[in-house]
Amino acid sequence: MLAAIFHLLSGYVEFQVHGDGARLFTVAAKRGFNLWGFCRREGLAVARVRPGVYKKMRALCRRCGVRTRLVQKRGAPFQLRRLQKRKSLLVGAVAGAALYVFLSGFVWGVSITGAQNVTPREITQAARNCGVYVGGPRKGFTPKNASGSILTQLPRLSWASVNTNGCFVEIAVKEGAQAPALEEKGVLSNIVAGREGRVVEIQARQGRPEVSLGDTVTQDQLLIAGLYQEAPDPYGIQPPELYQRAGAARGKVVAETYREFTVQVGASRTEHIESGRETAQWLEIFGLRIPLGLWSKPQGPVRTYQESSWLTLLGVQMPLGLRRQVTVFLTEEERPLTKKEQKTAALLKLREAQRTALPPGGSVKEEKLEYVFADGMCILHARSRCLEDIGVERVISVE
């Protein structure tokens, strides 16, 4: 094995002998010429020898009356000689190796896992602020510092890890549960009805319910008591001391309520009409943006959106692409509305009023709508039956 490696590094030639090959090999061995790889091919003797020795064998061939012919040249010296004739190939190989080393120093892809409520866009922006982005230098950040910086920028995350796999970066995050609000100790409170309604659900986490399912309650009626005394069973054994509780009432009481909403919409609406467009383009290479033209900052009401196209190689997005930002110029125009459009606008306004009026989790169970057109206005009156939490905490002051 070592001999074969030595011959490949130093180079050798393989030749055929036309004539008495045995005599030539014998005389060459006596002269100290090192030959190897003896064999017969197509009836001719074949051997291998170093290039310098092959030149010295010419006189020996004439003496033995034989003729030799080169079959092949092998080894590093012959390969290097071929490359010297093809300098562009050698330069291309060196340039390719240098380009590979240069490009391996940048981030080629960023992936995010574990994001739920926190959007990937927020995590991407936080990572970009600490140097983790497609096209960013790999030496510009350390995974430990980057993960700490992301946690600092996004307090909603309880854990973040930045892992590198070659030129690709994976950001794994975990969102923490929202810390409950601190409850003030020593506070006495009850839960009372914020409006009248019929009780359909009771959840008393702390305190004693004072109403039952199906009861009709009025505004300010006690629903869950935080300060109460145990009511003993009149038919059982009477305890020596009654249990007393003094604390904050916690829970919710869902009731079916009745609400009325009234909204109105005018006969016309101001709309923004497109009056022109302007396009700005730039080339992005490894995070560096190169503008492809000159443009000014738009004035007045505008709407902008961006488009991007990235170079993809073997299914992998390259940090090389073209970005385009389109600016749409808008002008305000007053447009009259048809009755159908007025009804649609009034219904949308009603839904917004209902979302504002109802507490979180509340919904409209049934409603009756009435449209009235007067003086060019569309007036919508809604009578709604709603399901909502009517419980309101009321602190008991102790003096």
Q: What is the 3-state secondary structure (H, E, C) of 293-346?
A: CCCCCCCCCEEEEEEEEEEEECCEEEEEEEEEEEEEEEEEEEEECCHHHHHHHH
Distance CA 337, CA 256 (A): 36
pLDDT digits (tens, 9 = 90+) for 82-131: 777 777 777 888 888 888 888 788 888 888 988 888 888 889 889 988 88
Closest CA to 394 of 210, 180, 260: 210
For residue 5, pLDDT over 80 is answered with: no
For residue 399, pLDDT over 70 is answered with: no
| Residue 350 confidence (pLDDT) | 95
Distance CA 230, CA 359 (A): 32
For residue 298, pLDDT over 80 is answered with: no
| Residue 114 confidence (pLDDT) | 87
| Residue 179 confidence (pLDDT) | 53
| Residue 93 confidence (pLDDT) | 81
pLDDT digits (tens, 9 = 90+) for 224-251: 998 887 777 777 777 777 777 788 899 9
pLDDT band at 176 (very low <50, low <70, confident <90, very high): confident
For the chain, what is the mean pLDDT?
A: 85
pLDDT digits (tens, 9 = 90+) for 29-56: 888 888 888 888 888 888 888 888 888 8
| Residue 246 confidence (pLDDT) | 83
For residue 184, pLDDT over 60 is answered with: no
| Residue 118 confidence (pLDDT) | 87
For residue 290, pLDDT over 90 is answered with: no
Between 237 and 347, name the one with better pLDDT. Answer: 347
Tell me the one-letter amino acid at 384: S
- Laid out side by side, the sheet with 250-265 consists of 216-217, 197-206, 250-265, 377-389, 363-374
69: CB partners within 8 A, 6+ apart: 15, 16, 18
Distance CA 127, CA 149 (A): 8
| Residue 240 confidence (pLDDT) | 78
Span 2-20, average pLDDT: 81
For residue 181, pLDDT over 60 is answered with: no
Distance CA 260, CA 360 (A): 18
Between 234 and 161, name the one with better pLDDT. Answer: 161
- Laid out side by side, the sheet with 12-18 consists of 36-41, 44-49, 12-18, 67-74
pLDDT band at 353 (very low <50, low <70, confident <90, very high): very high
